[in-house]
Amino acid sequence: MIKGKKGTAMRQYFLKHTGLTLLVTVLLIICSALRVFHGVVNAYVLDGLVAKSMSRFLFWTGIDIGLFLVLSIFLFGTMYLEGVLVQKMNLDLRLTITRNITHGDYAYFHRHDTGTYGSWLTNDITMIEDQGFQGYFYIVQFVCDTGFTVAALIQFHWSLVIVSILLGLITYSAPQLLAKPMKQTNMAVTHGNEHFLNQVQSFLQGFDTLFALNLQQRLVDQIAGSARKIAGLRVKQNTVKAGMGSIAGLASIVSQVGISAWTGLLVLWRLTSVGAIMATGNLSFNLLNSMANLGPLAAQMKAVQPLFAKYAAQADNQSAEKRTIPADQAQSIALAQLSYQYPHTSKPALQPLSLTVAPGTKVAIAGPSGVGKSTLLNILNGKLPDYQGTVTVAGVPLKQIAGRSLRDNVLYIDQSPYVFNGTVRDNLALGQTFSDEQIMTALRQADLGDFVQQLPQGLATPVGEDGRLFSGGQRQRLALARGILRQRHIMLIDEGTSSLDTASALKVEDSFLKQRGLTVIFVTHQLHAQNKDLFDQVVTLA
């Protein structure tokens, strides 16, 4: 779990790659030392000119050129390894977020829209990379630049160190005046990104409806409105950043002038050499530029810490305390005065219902819309835990059964199944291993086998985004085949054949109604007379 305490959340990602982090840190220290040494060498170059010594001038100029060549090599290696480390940490963070949002229960996942999660995995990661992970490297560089610069200034005169430190502290502290606004604008932007992605997702998914009504312009208008809002938030964020940079820059320039003036006085008082003017100019620039940037960077790193608190998972903490049920055979299901009422509504979605479903039996749940047929299946699938009455599976109260154990026994097939963008095989296997023979058997039971076999690419045929290349009935049969392939002992089917013609519906329904040992609870608006006798119970809700 990602902790929300300051510093700890980000630090754990660096510590996960300790070796690479240490290597990059060492390279940053070496690069800093080389940059500062360049500033010192400049003093010797100028002293050689003042002394009119060709040999000294050429010697230190050669040293300076050599320094830059070595520095270039180290900078390349540092930048490459920084990039590798940042991408590794980005991947770790994305995986942590994904695990946290998917390892909870149904209600935990749906506490946010999918657009919000999309924003976490894209926009938030980018912000954390720019202001958090990259900030660490800059801070190491600036701290080292400061330390090496102070050490270098001592050889010219001790007072330069004191003056530089005092002016450096002022330069560092000035941008902190905008630390709080920086944190506020960061949070506003991340929430704005979440809202924007939700809006875009909603309207793009509704394109077909808008197209049919000749209202495509509404999509443009809505996205434009949301885009303007996020643009305004980003302008505010950039304004705060610009303010911090301007304050830091002004403080840095004033301080550099102050150090140069003090060095000039030391030269006039014959307390240091003329070459110190060039050296302290370069060194003070390193020092004050570091302090000027250190302030905004520290503020930005603090500002991204609240993002980590959003990702902390508190889901399914009691799963270890819950019970499991055997998954090797069908189990009995018993309902006693089961009812459900959605929050903020006055009418029950499901009236009190008592029912016993023996292992291996087939039950039809019929009735008009709005009487709670789908609600009943959602309760049995563990999606709606706050029901009234009692439900037991294999004699164990439903609320005491661990979610994973329940889903190992019970398979729920939605009336509006989701089809992933991929191939037919991808949509059935979903990352698990099944042979082509197993997949084709499931497809034939769902009355889709002949259709898939006739496709030029067979199981490798793409289905398109949300299965748009397949008809509604074909998508429904694909979902049924996906369920049949899992061979669960209890199947909850919500209008699973509603999009099929009568002949196809009867063929599909008969395939699972005639399976011995399989418990089926089948919700339907239209109970076919041809196979009604295959049901052991027909329950009509009112």
Mean pLDDT of 378-385: 89
- Between the alpha carbon of residue 516 and those of residues 205, 225, 455, the distances in Å are 41, 57, 32
List, for residues 78-123, the tens digit of each pLDDT value: 999 999 999 999 999 988 888 887 777 777 777 777 788 888 888 8
61 and 47 Cβ atoms separated by less than 8 Å: no
Distance (Å, whole) CA 309 – CA 315: 14
- Between the alpha carbon of residue 122 and those of residues 90, 97, 193, 198, the distances in Å are 10, 11, 10, 13
DSSP letter at 215 equals -
**pLDDT of 393 over the 80 cut:** yes
**pLDDT of 400 over the 50 cut:** yes
Mean pLDDT of 346-360: 91
**pLDDT of 168 over the 80 cut:** no
Alpha-carbon Rg of the chain, whole angstroms?
Answer: 34
Distance (Å, whole) CA 542 – CA 539: 10
User: No. of H helices and E strands in the chain?
Assistant: 19, 9
pLDDT value at position 214?
67
Given the structure tokens 């940053």, which residue do they identify?
A: 28
- Please name the helix (run of DSSP H) or strand (run of DSSP E) that holds residue 131, with its range, or none: none
Nearest to 280 by CA among 160, 143, 159: 160
Query: Which CATH class, in words, describes the domain spanning 333-540?
Result: alpha beta
Nearest to 218 by CA among 208, 228, 209, 210: 210
Percent with pLDDT over 90 in the chain: 19
Distance (Å, whole) CA 165 – CA 160: 8
Q: Considering the chain, what is the average pLDDT of its residues?
A: 82
290 and 147 Cβ atoms separated by less than 8 Å: no
CATH 1.20.1560.10 residue window(s) in the chain: 8-311
Q: In what order do the strands lie in the sheet with 396-397?
A: 350-357, 333-340, 388-393, 396-397
Distance (Å, whole) CA 457 – CA 401: 42
Mean pLDDT of 287-313: 74
**pLDDT of 3 over the 50 cut:** no
**pLDDT of 9 over the 80 cut:** no
Amino acid at 300: Q
Mean pLDDT of 19-29: 95
Q: Any idea which fold 8-311 has? A: ABC transporter transmembrane region fold (1.20.1560)
Mean pLDDT of 211-225: 74
pLDDT value at position 414?
81
CATH 3.40.50.300 residue window(s) in the chain: 333-540
Distance (Å, whole) CA 272 – CA 392: 89
Mean pLDDT of 338-363: 91
Distance of CA 154 to the CA centre of its chain: 48
**pLDDT of 348 over the 80 cut:** yes
pLDDT value at position 314?
54
**pLDDT of 73 over the 90 cut:** yes
Distance (Å, whole) CA 207 – CA 443: 31
417 and 494 Cβ atoms separated by less than 8 Å: no
Q: How confident is the model at residue 28 (pLDDT cuts 50, 70, 90)?
A: very high
**pLDDT of 6 over the 50 cut:** no
Given the structure tokens 């998917």, which residue do they identify?
A: 102
pLDDT value at position 1?
35
Using DSSP, state whether 247 is helix, strand or coil. Answer: helix
357 and 363 Cβ atoms separated by less than 8 Å: yes
Mean pLDDT of 46-51: 77
Distance (Å, whole) CA 427 – CA 434: 12
**pLDDT of 281 over the 70 cut:** no
**pLDDT of 2 over the 70 cut:** no
Q: How confident is the model at residue 303 (pLDDT cuts 50, 70, 90)?
A: confident
**pLDDT of 4 over the 70 cut:** no
**pLDDT of 465 over the 80 cut:** no
86 and 134 Cβ atoms separated by less than 8 Å: yes
Percent with pLDDT over 70 in the chain: 91
Nearest to 446 by CA among 488, 474, 487, 418: 474
pLDDT value at position 72?
92
**pLDDT of 399 over the 80 cut:** yes
